[in-house]
Each structure stands twice: as C-alpha cells, then as structure tokens.
Amino acid sequence: MSEGKDDLYLLEHLNDGYGFWVRARRKLAHVKSPFQDIEVLDTVNFGRTLRIDGYFMTSDKDEFFYHENMIHPAGIAHPGPQRALIIGGGDGGAAEEYLKYPSMKEVVMAEIDGAVVDFCKEHLPEVHRGAFDDPRLKVLITDGKAYVEQCSDSFDLMMLDLTDPFGPAEALYRVDFLRECRRILGPQGVMSMHLGSPVARPNVFHRVVSSLREVFKYVRPYMVYVPLYGAAWGMAVASDETDPLALSSEQVEQRISERGISHLQYYNGDTHRAVFALPNYVRKILAQPGRPISADDPMDEPGLDP
C-alpha cells in the first residue's frame, strides 16, 4: 500500500509480472482474526471494498459481477433448488443470491472465520443486503472441508467460495475433496467454484478444471471480467446430471420470470449463454493433457505476497 497526500493506492499482484492498483480515500475498519487480516476501505470506484490478507475480495459496486455469475448459471439450470451450501462466503453476497430463489428452504454457510462474518455484517450491508437476517440462512463457524467430509445431508446447489489454491486452501481444490462435494449433491445437484484467471495463472486455471473433470460428468468452465479482480476470471459449474448449456437464452429468461428472481444487475438469458463461449486461448489451455490436483501431485505454483 502506498500513500499520497490524501489517498491510498492499493496494489495487488496477479502474478510476478503484473498486477493493478485501486485508489481509496481512507481505511474504514480493520481487524486481525486468528486466521487472517481483514479490512474495509472507502474506494473511489468501488465504494466499500473488502480486502483479506491484502487481496481484494468484494465491493459495494461490483460484487454482482462475481456473485451473480457464481450462483445463477447453476441455480437456474437446476429445476427447483431447495437447499444450498456455501463453503466460505462470509461476506454474505453468495447467500443473498441463493435466497432470491422462492423454492429455497435453507442455505448453509460453512465459514471458518467468524470474524469475517461479524465484520461484513457490520461494514458491508450493500453486499449481503440483509441476508444474515433471513431465517433460511444457517451460518456455521466451522472448517468447511471437515464439514463436507462429515456431512450426511444433501444439497441441490453448492458453491466453493474459496481463496486461491495456495497454502491451506489448496486441499479444497484436490480431487479427493471434490469427490466429497459430489457425494453430498442431491439428484440434479450442481456445484460452482472459481478457477482464477487464465490470463494471470493459466496453469492454476487448467489444473482446477482438470480436477473437476476427474470427478464430474459435466464440467462447464466460463469466463467473467470482474473489475475488482483486475482480469478476466474463470468460473465453472459441475454436475453429474445437470448441464447449464442445455438451456437456451429463452428458457433461462422464462425461468428467471417464473421464479420471480429480480434485482439482477448482470445475469440474464443472453449472458447465461455468452459466458460459456470460451475464447481460443482458453480452449488451448484446456486442450492440454489433464493434470488434476491431488496429494500425490499438489499445486506446484507458488502463491504471491500481496
């Protein structure tokens, strides 16, 4: 972080060759939990912005780029989701999107750091929009990996809202954990997760997709530009029974209307189809021989200091 006379210029590296900066007026709140360093800043372009361990997570003004695209391609593809599970997601943005479904009876959030939940409840109301007050949301302060491995319930939808696959988070990208995720998905269940940037980290992008393909019948990578992340960002939905590409733009619009899902700033029938149209450079990355992440072949690309 560099400081001028009045403002802060917050730098973030995407790899060891490039990154980006965001200008902030001031730091609004800061707390150190036993797990991580958490702060909210008042930024010029993005409003209130959450950073964890020096990395941008979400913001008032652009959270919908990430949350809508992580939730709705899977949610709309499912014929009638009633239960959803979020691993991580302590800012509440993913839960808020799941709770837009009138069929949704319960959303379980398994977040390891209670300080993130408390901090975001207080400081990021424009991200969670009251989701924490919805009785359908059940917040568990627990290790998400252990929760999945010990879980005997089943879910229609599941989102892995994880940090990048370095350090302790790497184990949640491995094939053995993804198999546990598949185990607790009900009939027609769909999981979504992010893949990182194929521009900044093509090896990471390829290896996460390879892991998903080792486990699920349908794996559909897709691309969204997320302004706060400074790059085109990879996401994926995975399922053994439900293929989001089976829906036309018209069918997506019909389901959005029938389900009464509103306040969408990004997602619609056309974007549902469009995000899955992969450019040639991404197709080339994914055409390489698969190399799933496992204990025997872990992620071999180091993370970066912010």
- Which residues belong to the active site? 161
Q: Are 60 and 48 in contact (CB under 8 A)?
A: yes
What residues contact residue 107 under an 8 Å CB cut-off, 6+ apart? 83, 84, 85, 86, 95, 98, 99, 136, 137, 138
Q: Are 14 and 197 in contact (CB under 8 A)?
A: yes
CA distances from 197 to 21, 23, 70, 243, 255 (A): 17, 22, 14, 23, 30
| H or E element in which residue 204 lies | helix 202-215
Among 277, 216, 222, 272, smallest CA distance to 241 is for 216
What is the residue whose two structure tokens read 């696959």?
Answer: 165
CA 12 to chain centre: 19
What residues contact residue 5 under an 8 Å CB cut-off, 6+ apart? none
